[in-house]
C-alpha cells in the first residue's frame, strides 16, 4: 500500500472544509491516498514512490468545465487559428497573414470563435477588404461569437454563395447594391447559417483528428483543466462523430475526464433521437475518464434561444411546449439526466411549465437536470428550479458580449446577467464553465476572473460587487460544484483522500495575485488520476511527449492556442530582430521569463537562437 507519487512543499487549497490546507499529498491507483503535512505524508513513502518538490507553489483541485464542446472542438483544433487572448487586431492580422502563407490549397484559414472585438485595442473586427488584401486566393473564415462570420472573396467562392443564393431561415447573407454577397453572414437570429457555412470547409482525416484532439486536451491541461462536461453540439452526430474520442478512450490516451451529453441532431425528429438513444446507452456507462451523462444541451430545436444581444430576443414558437413535453417524459421515465440551453427568462418560464407538468406524473426525485446559461433568469424561476431539484450551469459569455447587452438593454439590466449570487442564496446547484470553443474561449482563468471582478474582456465593469463572488467561491464553482452536474459528487473536485487525484500546480498564486492578473494564470504541472499530463518550467521533463501537430501547416505548430499576455512583446522582438513578425509559442514562456537578461540586439539574437527558434533558421 505504498503510494505511487508524493507531491511536497506545496500550498494545497483542498476545498475540503475538514482539511482546508495541506503541504503534501500522496497518490495511489488514481486517487488521493493521503493529504496533510509533509511529515504525515512522507511516512507513507515507499522504495518506488516518486517524490516531487513543488517549490512552494499554489496547488488547486483540477478544474472542471461544466459546459464545453471538447469532442467537436478536438476534431478541428489543429485547423484553427486561435485569437483567444490576442490584445490587438494588428497582432491578430499579423498571425492571420502568416497562416495564409503556410496554408496550402484547398484548405481554409479559420478563426472560429473564442474572441471578441472588445478585447482588441482597436475595438473592431477586420474589414472584408483587409481580409481580401491579406488572402486573395486562400479562403478565410472568421466566426465572431454567435452573431456573424466574415468571409473573404475566396471563401465566398468555394462556399458557393452568389447573387442567386437565397437567405436561409434564421440568417442573412449581406449584399452590396448589386445584390452580390459582400462576405458578411449574419445570424438573424440563430447561428445556423454560420455553422452551415463552416461545415463546407475541408475536414481532417481520422489520423489527424486523433492528433488534433490530443493537442486540444494538452492545451486544456496547460490551463489546469482536468475534467469537462461535453454539451454535444450542432453537427456532432452520435455515434459517428464520437469515433475519435472513443478510440482515444479505448487506448487510454485521454488526459481530460469527459462526461458527454447527447445533443439532438434532427429538427422535427428529436423525440425519435431520444427514444432510440435510451435503448442503446445508459447514463453512467463508461468509466471515470469517459462516461455518458444524459441528454442535451439541445432537446428540441423549437426551444433554442441562441444569444445574440445585437438583435432582439427571439420569441420561441408556439409549438415549443408541444414538442418539448414528450422528450422530457421519455427522459424522466428512463432516468436520463438532461440539460437545456436557455439564455432568456421567457424561455426558461415556458420550459419550467413543461417540467412541472411532467413532474406531477413522473416525479423527478433527485434526477439531475439543469439549465445552461440563464443570463436573464428571474428570482421566480430560480425558486421554481430549486423546488424541482434542478441546477444551473453558468458560463462567461457575458465577458465577451456584455457591451452588446448594455447597448440594447442598459447597464442596470446587465447588473445580474446571470444573477449568480441569488442562485447560490436560493440553494440551487450552480456550476461554472465556458461554452467553448466557438462562443467564448476555453481558458478557465478568463471565466474565473469574470466571476471575481464582474468585468468584460473589454474592461467594462458589468456587475456591482453584490453579484460577484470571492476567489474561493469562484474556484468551488469550477471544481467541487461541477461534480453535481456529472453525477460524481464526492468523487472529484477536491483534494481529499479517496477522490480522483486530479490537480493543477499554478504559475502564480491565485489567492494573492491582483484581480486584473487572474486571467494570466496557467498550470506548470497538471496531474490527472495521479499521472502527469502537462509540465513546464522545471517540470517540463516530467510530462509525456506529444507528437507534433498534424498537418504540418497547422496553426498550432506556430501559434499554439490561447495567446499569452506577452504576445505583442514577442511580435515586436521577432519583427525587429529577424523581420518575420512571427511568434514562437513553443518557447514563448521561456522567452518571456528570461527576456530581461537580453540587453543588446546581438545578445537577443543569440538568446532566441539558443532556444532553437525557427525564426533564426
Per the structure block, which three cell numbers stand in for 475? 474556484
Residue 189: pLDDT band by 50, 70, 90 thresholds? Answer: confident
Does a structural domain hold residue 21? yes
Does a structural domain hold residue 221? no
Q: What per-residue confidence (pLDDT) applies to 566? A: 53
**Overall average pLDDT of the 309-317 stretch:** 93
Residue 347: strand, helix, or coil? helix
How, if at all, do strands 531-535 and 523-528 pair?
A: antiparallel
State the Cα–Cα distance between residues 418 and 42, nearest whole angstrom.
Answer: 45
Does a structural domain hold residue 167? yes
For residues 92 and 135, state if they share a domain: yes
Lowest mean pLDDT segment, chosen from 278-292, 332-346, 539-553, 596-610 = 596-610
Does a structural domain hold residue 454? no
Side-chain-side CA neighbours of 40 within 13 Å: the count stands at 10
Residue 11: strand, helix, or coil? strand
For residues 131 and 103, state if they share a domain: yes
For residues 93 and 195, state if they share a domain: yes
Residue 130: strand, helix, or coil? helix
Q: Are 307 and 146 in contact (CB under 8 A)?
A: yes
Spatial neighbors of 351 by CB under 8 A, at least 6 apart, are 303, 324, 340, 342, 371
**Overall average pLDDT of the 167-191 stretch:** 94
Does a structural domain hold residue 519? yes
Does a structural domain hold residue 91? yes
Give Cα separations from 542 to 67, 251, 476, 588 (angstroms): 30, 21, 28, 19
For residues 600 and 517, state if they share a domain: no
**Overall average pLDDT of the 234-248 stretch:** 93
Query: Edge-to-edge strands of the sheet including 225-230?
Result: 63-68, 225-230, 257-262, 290-295, 338-342, 369-373, 391-395, 430-433
For residues 166 and 57, state if they share a domain: no
Q: Are 394 and 377 in contact (CB under 8 A)?
A: no
State the Cα–Cα distance between residues 191 and 237, nearest whole angstrom.
Answer: 18
Spatial neighbors of 358 by CB under 8 A, at least 6 apart, are 325, 328, 329, 332
Residue-averaged pLDDT of the chain: 92
Q: Which of 174, 200, 226 is the last residue of a domain?
A: 200
Q: What range defines the domain where residue 586 resides?
A: 577-611
Residue 191: pLDDT band by 50, 70, 90 thresholds? Answer: confident
Q: What per-residue confidence (pLDDT) applies to 512? A: 98
Q: Model pTM?
A: 0.92
For residues 536 and 588, state if they share a domain: no
Measured from the Cβ of residue 38, the count of other Cβ atoms closer than 10 Å reads 16
Peptide bond into 476 cis (omega under 30): no
For residues 176 and 112, state if they share a domain: yes
Q: What per-residue confidence (pLDDT) applies to 190? A: 83
Q: What per-residue confidence (pLDDT) applies to 587? A: 37
Higher model confidence: residue 306 or residue 522? Answer: 522
Q: What per-residue confidence (pLDDT) applies to 450? A: 98
DSSP symbol at 142 = E
For residues 53 and 124, state if they share a domain: no
pLDDT exceeds 60 at position 135? yes
Residue 527: pLDDT band by 50, 70, 90 thresholds? Answer: very high
Angle between helices 398-409 and 444-453 (to 10 degrees): 40
Q: Which of 140, 169, 200 is the last residue of a domain?
A: 200
The DSSP string of 57-80 is -EEEEPEEEEEE-HHHHHHHGGGB
Does a structural domain hold residue 375? no
CATH at 134 = 3.10.310.70
For residues 43 and 94, state if they share a domain: no
What is the tally of structural domains in the chain? 3
Lowest mean pLDDT segment, chosen from 217-231, 453-467, 572-586 = 572-586
Lowest mean pLDDT segment, chosen from 299-313, 314-328, 530-544, 576-590 = 576-590
Q: What per-residue confidence (pLDDT) applies to 564? A: 83
Per the structure block, which three cell numbers stand in for 417? 446577467
Nearest to 8 by CA among 70, 46, 59, 48: 59
Does a structural domain hold residue 582? yes
For residues 47 and 14, state if they share a domain: yes
**Overall average pLDDT of the 35-39 stretch:** 98
For residues 102 and 184, state if they share a domain: yes
Higher model confidence: residue 582 or residue 77? Answer: 77
Spatial neighbors of 160 by CB under 8 A, at least 6 apart, are 200
Lowest mean pLDDT segment, chosen from 115-129, 203-217, 601-615 = 601-615
Q: Are 546 and 218 in contact (CB under 8 A)?
A: yes
For residues 585 and 525, state if they share a domain: no
Q: Which of 161, 183, 200 is the last residue of a domain?
A: 200
**Overall average pLDDT of the 242-268 stretch:** 97
Give Rg (Cα) of the chain: 24
Q: What per-residue confidence (pLDDT) applies to 34? A: 98
**Overall average pLDDT of the 68-97 stretch:** 98
Q: Could you report the per-residue pLDDT of 218-227, keeping only the tens digit for each? A: 999 999 999 9
Lowest mean pLDDT segment, chosen from 102-116, 473-487, 556-570 = 556-570
CATH at 519 = 2.30.40.10
Amino acid at each position: 500500500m505504498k503510494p505511487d507519487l508524493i507531491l511536497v512543499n506545496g500550498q494545497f487549497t483542498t476545498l475540503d472544509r475538514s482539511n482546508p490546507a495541506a503541504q503534501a499529498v500522496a497518490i495511489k491507483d488514481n486517487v488521493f491516498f493521503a493529504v496533510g503535512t509533509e511529515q504525515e505524508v512522507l511516512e507513507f513513502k515507499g522504495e518506488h514512490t516518486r517524490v516531487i518538490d513543488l517549490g512552494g507553489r499554489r496547488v488547486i483541485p483540477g478544474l472542471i468545465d461544466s459546459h464545453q464542446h471538447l469532442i467537436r472542438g478536438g476534431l478541428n483544433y489543429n485547423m484553427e487559428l486561435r485569437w483567444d487572448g490576442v490584445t490587438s487586431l494588428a497582432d491578430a492580422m499579423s498571425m492571420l497573414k502568416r497562416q495564409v502563407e503556410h496554408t496550402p490549397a484547398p484548405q481554409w484559414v479559420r478563426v472560429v470563435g473564442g474572441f471578441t472585438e472588445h478585447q482588441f485595442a482597436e475595438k473592431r473586427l477586420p474589414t472584408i477588404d483587409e481580409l481580401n488584401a491579406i488572402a486573395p486566393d486562400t479562403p478565410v473564415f472568421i466566426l465572431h461569437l454567435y452573431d456573424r462570420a466574415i468571409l473573404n472573396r475566396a471563401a465566398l467562392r468555394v462556399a458557393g454563395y452568389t447573387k442567386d443564393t437565397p437567405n436561409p431561415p434564421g440568417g442573412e447573407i449581406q449584399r452590396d447594391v448589386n445584390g452580390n454577397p459582400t462576405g458578411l453572414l449574419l445570424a438573424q437570429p440563430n447561428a445556423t447559417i454560420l455553422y452551415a457555412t463552416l461545415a463546407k470547409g475541408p475536414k481532417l482525416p481520422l489520423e489527424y483528428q486523433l492528433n488534433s484532439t490530443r493537442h486540444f486536451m494538452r492545451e486544456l491541461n496547460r490551463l489546469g483543466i482536468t475534467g469537462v462536461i461535453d454539451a454535444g453540439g450542432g453537427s456532432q452526430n452520435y455515434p459517428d462523430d464520437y469515433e475519435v474520442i472513443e478510440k482515444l478512450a479505448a487506448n487510454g490516451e485521454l488526459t481530460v475526464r469527459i462526461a458527454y451529453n447527447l445533443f439532438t441532431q434532427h429538427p422535427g425528429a428529436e423525440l425519435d433521437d431520444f427514444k432510440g438513444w435510451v435503448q442503446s446507452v445508459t447514463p453512467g456507462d463508461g468509466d471515470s475518464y469517459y462516461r455518458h451523462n444524459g441528454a442535451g444541451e439541445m432537446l428540441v430545436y423549437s426551444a433554442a434561444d441562441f444569444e445574440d444581444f445585437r438583435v432582439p430576443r427571439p420569441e420561441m414558437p408556439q409549438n415549443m411546449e408541444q414538442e418539448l413535453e414528450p422528450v422530457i417524459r421519455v427522459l424522466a421515465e428512463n432516468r436520463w439526466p438532461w440539460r437545456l440551453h436557455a439564455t432568456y427568462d421567457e424561455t426558461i418560464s415556458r420550459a419550467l411549465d413543461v417540467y412541472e407538468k411532467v413532474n406531477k406524473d413522473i416525479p423527478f426525485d433527485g434526477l439531475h437536470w439543469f439549465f445552461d446559461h440563464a443570463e436573464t433568469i428571474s428570482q421566480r424561476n430560480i425558486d421554481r428550479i430549486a423546488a424541482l431539484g434542478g441546477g444551473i450551469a453558468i458560463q462567461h459569455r457575458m465577458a465577451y458580449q456584455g457591451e452588446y447587452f448594455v447597448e440594447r438593454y442598459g447597464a442596470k439590466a446587465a447588473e445580474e446577467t446571470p444573477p449568480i449570487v441569488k442562485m447560490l442564496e436560493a440553494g440551487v446547484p450552480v456550476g461554472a464553465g465556458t461554452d467553448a470553443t466557438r462562443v467564448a474561449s476555453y481558458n478557465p482563468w478568463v471565466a474565473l476572473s469574470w466571476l471575481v471582478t464582474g468585468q468584460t474582456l473589454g474592461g467594462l465593469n458589468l456587475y456591482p460587487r453584490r453579484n460577484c463572488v470571492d476567489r474561493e467561491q469562484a474556484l468551488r464553482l469550477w471544481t467541487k460544484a461541477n461534480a453535481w452536474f456529472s453525477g460524481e459528487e464526492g468523487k472529484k473536485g477536491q483534494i481529499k483522500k479517496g477522490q480522483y487525484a486530479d490537480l493543477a500546480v499554478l504559475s502564480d498564486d491565485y489567492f494573492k495575485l491582483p484581480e486584473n492578473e487572474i486571467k494570466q494564470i496557467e498550470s506548470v504541472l497538471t496531474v490527472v488520476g495521479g499521472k502527469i499530463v502537462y509540465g513546464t518550467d522545471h517540470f517540463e521533463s516530467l510530462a509525456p511527449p506529444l507528437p507534433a501537430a498534424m498537418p504540418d501547416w497547422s496553426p498550432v505548430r506556430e501559434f499554439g492556442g490561447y495567446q499569452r499576455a506577452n504576445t505583442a512583446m514577442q511580435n515586436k522582438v521577432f519583427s525587429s530582430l529577424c523581420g518575420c513578425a512571427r511568434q514562437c509559442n513553443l518557447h514563448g514562456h521561456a522567452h518571456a521569463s528570461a527576456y530581461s537578461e537580453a540587453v543588446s540586439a546581438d545578445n537577443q539574437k543569440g538568446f532566441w537562437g539558443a532556444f532553437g527558434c525557427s525564426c533564426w533558421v
